[in-house]
Structure 1
Amino acid sequence: MDNTIYTESFQDKFLQTTEDFYRSKQFPAIDSNNKLLEYLKLVAEYFDYEINQAKVYLPEQKLTLTTLIVLLETIFFPTDIFNIIVGRLQLLVSDENKHQELAVLFEPIRQLTKLKNELLKLIETHVYQKAIESITDDLINNPLFYIETIVNIHGKYQKLIQETFVGDQHFVASFDKGYAKFVNQNPVSKTTGITMTLAEILARYCDTLLRKGSKAVKNDDWNEKLDNIIIIFSYLNDKDVFMKFYQKMLRKRLIDQLSVSESYEETLISEFKNKCGYEYTSKLEQMIKDIRLSEDLTNEYRTYQENTHENETRKIYSNNFLEENNFFSVVVLTSNSWLFSHPSDIILPIEFKTVYDNFTTFYLSKHSGRKLTLLHQYSKGELQINFTTKKYRLQVSTYQMLILLLFNQELIWTVEQIQDKTQIRSELLFEILLGLLKSKLLISDDPLTLNSRIKLAQNFISDKTRLNLNLPSKPNEQKDQSHLVKAAVDERQMVIQAALVRIMKKERTLKHSLLIQQVIQQLTSNFKPDISLIKKYIEILIEKEYFQRDSNDKDTLHYLA
């Protein structure tokens, strides 16, 4: 059918007749909720009738149907009436005691696209604003309370969607959009001024639950806590940043034997894998595997040590440096699965070097061709104080151990001499010495310089018999946090470029816009890629001659083998 003839002969007359018919009718005023409901029900009936008639008798005329809907909206929702209705809906949405009234009005509204779209916006805004208002400073500074508060917010508004809007998928999507905007807006503590990312807060929440001694989880509510984690994880945009924090905290739990349950660790990793795929969790799984293998390796080494190096072992025991058959445990880690910083060179004390050399000989006899690097910055040990009447045990880092063992030789050292004997870099040495001075185990009369004399506090006394001196400094923690975020963001460059090459290698030829769309689809499970970055790396790959623009269509790209 000729569209011009159809429009002039039928459509224009049909629409005019429809408009005249409804303009001539009388409609109830909307000065109360009951009247509003009556009006909306009547309008919904008219919409339903007209749309169904058009679909039956004009099935091929999509434009007529669209024009008809616009006409009906103009008739029944002129600007003044539309604003009154939206204002009424806004009041009902914001007053949570009136959501039952909203549920009644929703029945006709769900058939009225223009009003339904407006209500969707109101719900999205309401969820976001109410959630923001519920966050206080004390929550921001407590990952446990923060995550459980925002999980409760999720449950509350999810219930609203189910009960008020009968689980309508458009309203589920609107709720998800408002909630995702809220949780991914990094909260800022008003008291400290520190901005915390959701990725870090969620990782700390996981760490709190999975550490030994945590009172935050009991056997009977682990599944509930697991659900909390996965709910928030599902909304998290920066899953790659979260993984950096999670991997760092898992490293500490595993190396320091602080994990409350291997089963809990594996269950959570499995949930992450279900959400993001094998590659996302492969390093975590290797970390767990490394720890298991290391336990067996330590037991094998102890047997080897007893049978082969009995004299050295007895000598070490006699010096009270290490104790019993459990004096040494080792964790051998796969280098590409753990977040390490490269260790600086230090001079190991003879007490420790003997054990390290023995283990190296043992390990390389089993695994020829491998290389062992001592990660002393992650190692720790225990020392016993023998110069006091009361016996004390000290939990120390390797660096602290190096310094304290020097006092077996002399009771006074200058800072410069300590540095010469240990080769600990200057900045780190001063930080460690300040911590030991604060513990009162070492003393110095001077402000700390290279020439300062450090003395052993021979009259040392403490109420505790076991002292943990191996505590991280807050400035270093904050520096490490920013480093982890930067590392994740930097990795995105390679991930985006790899995705671009992978897609183009498969498709060979693709429109620029479709390439961007496919990259976003592939990467959204880990992070939300920035479109400007994708465009930037497309240009870089064109310059590197991975891609080429079509000579006749600049929007089409070809992959160059």
Structure 2
Amino acid sequence: MNHFERRRDHIETLEDLWRKESIFLEEIFHKRNSLDVNDLMKFNHFVYLHCSSLVGNPSVRSQDPGRHLHESLTVYINSRLRHISNELETFTNDEELVTVYVCYWREFWKACEELDRACGYLNRNWVKREQFEGHAHIHEVYRMAMIRWKELVFSPIDSGLVTAITLLLKNNVRRSVLYQALQSIVELYANDHNQHVPVPKKIENVFTADVVRFYKSETLSEFQTIVYSKAYSDFKHFLKYACLAMPEIEKEGEFISFLKDNLDMELEQAIKKSLSGKEYIQAFMNMRRGPLERALRNHKKLLAVIDQVCTKAINGTNQQRDPIALLNIYCNELMIKNNLSEKAINDEFKRIIEVAYFLDDKDKFIYHYGRMLRIRQIKETSASDGNETTMISLMIAKFGFVATERLRKLLEEMDKSRDVSQDFQNHLNSKGIKLGFDFRLKLFENRERTDNFKLTLPWELQGTVEEFRSFFRKSHSLRKIVFNLEISSGEILCNLGQSTLIFEVSTLQMAILLLFNHQDRFTVNDLVDRTGSTIEAVQPVLDLWTKKKLLITNGEFVEVNMNFSSRKRRHNLNTVPTKSRKVDKKEDDLAEKRKFQTDAAVVRLMKKYKTLAHSQLIELVIEELKNLFTPKIVFIKDRIDALLEKDNPDFERFGNNEYRYVS
């Protein structure tokens, strides 16, 4: 086949594809039908074939097929627009002119939006390559269509249309139609060849001040209507050109204030309706990943309002439930469930972290997560160690290594505990020791004070504990082992009459039950003395068991109900809250840690910058600590004063309102 024949086949192939594409163009432009998903995919496929199927032909330049499509589309659009232009030039009545213009514009704009979606491959590849090679007259399909409209439809009637809009506005006629006409003109100015003059300047040069004020007031009204009604389907398009004509939309003012107030109310109502941690998370996600967020993605200052609203909502002081507790409870529910897919659980973890990032007290969330992780590890309630690792990896990525250091160490200690447990079992086997019960050990770094929880272990466990201490001292001489008896638990078999029941109990509850192996009844004081505990810890246990009829009391003595029976063989008795002062101490520890972290941040920043104004130092400290917590300005000021009062301060006051690092 010679060159001429190959060229002819090439043209025939492109013409055949164009005929197939023209069918969809008629649907969009002539019949004014939106393409369904299947037709849109077919149109996309034909565009792809049109641009790329003949690239391997040595007689065809790689850009030629795309040029054929782009030129064919231009000719098709020109043909339609000349027909519209000829009709508009026949109108002499101002109101008819504006009304028909807007009607044609709305139809054409919608059709061009559809066409641009179908020509995504052409825009991303052929047009981009042409522009890269310096062909500035080549534009993406939508902009090309807007330029053709401006040259063929708007330019021949621009004077008459501008005059008609001005006169009709003075007579207060068809204001909504006038606004749509102005919107179209703004869009044309934003897409035309002349990009050196800003859109607001073009509008002011063409229209009177009254028309400009009308456009701005109607834009605000339209903005409010869309936000209030939540009809965001065209919001992205509306904002794109509204912001080009009115840059003030993205500045602090009426637009942002209205958006913020409306979203505040919307999120507050959603939170009030949420009954679970999952619903609470979803209330934030509907705003963070909804149609409004997608519409605002190209407008960073407006998009930032969503973050501001989420931050305000989650840190509000008048909330019915503590968000930190709610998020951690939901984390715990996910960790102990095994009926969800790995992907579903990971998705929920990501959503939790995304919401938790809005907390001012991020360190408090991380801290309480660590406590619940520790309990899950000791009680072996985690459905998957992989899920625990995934969640902490997400925290590290979002909050940083410093904030999550303790969580990482907890996982490391979990791995070490498996090795220690196996070594201890080998130790027992080598000495021929048989315990007669399952003694499972969990080894963690001891960072929590347990001095406010007292308990004397039953003699059945004491020997094993001492044996473990002896083993541990020999193999880990540099480490101290501390048993956390307050949150330790186990299972115990209880033979009552003809029934053998399994009780899930805390170590304290186990100690109480084992005492009844040696004596039938005790006074409450006897139980307190023999367990080495307190009346505040023992009494709630006895009250619960008496209520469940496991114990019988005659006022002075307590004894086991040997006639206790139940359909269930297994009972969870480990549900009694332990009264202690530990919570207060934990909060104190966290407060002290924050002081240390703030002091370190202040000194680190002063060492880096040498000289800083007071306001600069405050801003930098807040930015430095944002992944841990959001310190109050008063708190930072107090820490600065405390550092200055040291015997050998790292920095000093300099001038009226500055600090200077002392090298």
TM-score by length of 1: 0.78
Moved more, 252-261 or 485-494: 485-494
Query: Which residue among 307, 317, 323 is the counterpart of 1:176?
Result: 307
3-state secondary structure, aligned to 1:136: helix
**Superposed counterparts of 1:3-402, under 5 Å:** 26=166, 29=169, 32-39=175-182, 75=209, 85-97=219-231, 100=234, 103-104=237-238, 106-117=240-251, 118-137=254-273, 139-140=274-275, 142-156=276-290, 159-162=291-294, 164-165=295-296, 167-185=298-316, 188=319, 195-211=320-336, 213-215=337-339, 217-310=340-433, 313=434, 317=436, 322=437, 327-336=438-447, 339=448, 341-342=450-451, 344-402=453-511
* C-alpha spacing 1:329/1:481, structure 2 compared with 1 (3 Å): same
Whole-angstrom distance in 2 between the partners of 1:35 and 1:481: 65
Give the structure 2 partner of residue 468 of structure 1: 572
Tell whether the 8 Å contact from 1:121 to 1:174 is kept in structure 2 after alignment.
Answer: no
Whole-angstrom distance in 1 between the partners of 2:321 and 2:204: 47
Give the structure 1 partner of residue 10 of structure 2: none
Unmatched 5+ stretches in structure 1: 1-21, 56-64, 189-194, 447-451
- Paired residue type of 1:559: Y
The number of aligned residues is 493
3-state secondary structure, aligned to 2:234: helix
Moved more, 422-431 or 85-94: 85-94
Tell whether the 8 Å contact from 1:290 to 1:332 is kept in structure 2 after alignment.
Answer: yes
3-state secondary structure, aligned to 1:391: strand
Give the structure 1 partner of residue 524 of structure 2: 415
Whole-angstrom distance in 1 between the partners of 2:280 and 2:381: 23
* C-alpha spacing 1:98/1:381, structure 2 compared with 1 (3 Å): closer
Tell whether the 8 Å contact from 1:47 to 1:72 is kept in structure 2 after alignment.
Answer: no
Per-residue displacement from partner, 1:80-101 (whole Å, max 9, x unpaired)?
A: 8855653343123211247537
Shift of residue 275, structure 1, vs aligned partner: 1.4
Give the structure 1 partner of residue 604 of structure 2: 502
Give the structure 2 partner of residue 60 of structure 1: none
Per-residue displacement from partner, 1:491-538 (whole Å, max 9, x unpaired)?
A: 323222221122223333322121112101101122222112111221
Whole-angstrom distance in 2 between the partners of 1:423 and 1:257: 27
* C-alpha spacing 1:335/1:483, structure 2 compared with 1 (3 Å): closer
Whole-angstrom distance in 1 between the partners of 2:190 and 2:633: 40
* C-alpha spacing 1:492/1:111, structure 2 compared with 1 (3 Å): farther
Give runs of ≥4 in structure 1 deviating > 6 Å: 43-49, 51-55, 68-74, 77-81, 479-483
Whole-angstrom distance in 2 between the partners of 1:414 and 1:135: 49
3-state secondary structure, aligned to 1:418: helix
Give the structure 1 partner of residue 557 of structure 2: 453
Whole-angstrom distance in 2 between the partners of 1:98 and 1:365: 69
Shift of residue 79, structure 1, vs aligned partner: 7.9
Work out which of the two has the higher radius of gyration on C-alpha atoms and give 1 or 2: 2
- Paired residue type of 1:113: P
- Paired residue type of 1:403: I
Give the structure 2 partner of residue 429 of structure 1: 538
Per-residue displacement from partner, 1:261-308 (whole Å, max 9, x unpaired)?
A: 111211121111111211222211111121221122112212221331
Tell whether the 8 Å contact from 1:147 to 1:205 is kept in structure 2 after alignment.
Answer: no
Per-residue displacement from partner, 1:201-253 (whole Å, max 9, x unpaired)?
A: 22222211111x454x3234234223322332333332112112211111111
Tell whether the 8 Å contact from 2:288 to 2:306 is kept in structure 1 after alignment.
Answer: no
Unmatched 5+ stretches in structure 2: 1-161
| Root-mean-square deviation over aligned CA pairs | 3.6
Tell whether the 8 Å contact from 2:417 to 2:443 is kept in structure 1 after alignment.
Answer: yes
Shift of residue 258, structure 1, vs aligned partner: 0.9
Give the structure 2 partner of residue 8 of structure 1: none
3-state secondary structure, aligned to 1:455: strand
Give the structure 1 partner of residue 86 of structure 2: none
Give the structure 2 partner of residue 527 of structure 1: 629
3-state secondary structure, aligned to 1:374: coil
Tell whether the 8 Å contact from 1:48 to 1:111 is kept in structure 2 after alignment.
Answer: no
Shift of residue 256, structure 1, vs aligned partner: 0.8
Whole-angstrom distance in 2 between the partners of 1:369 and 1:268: 31
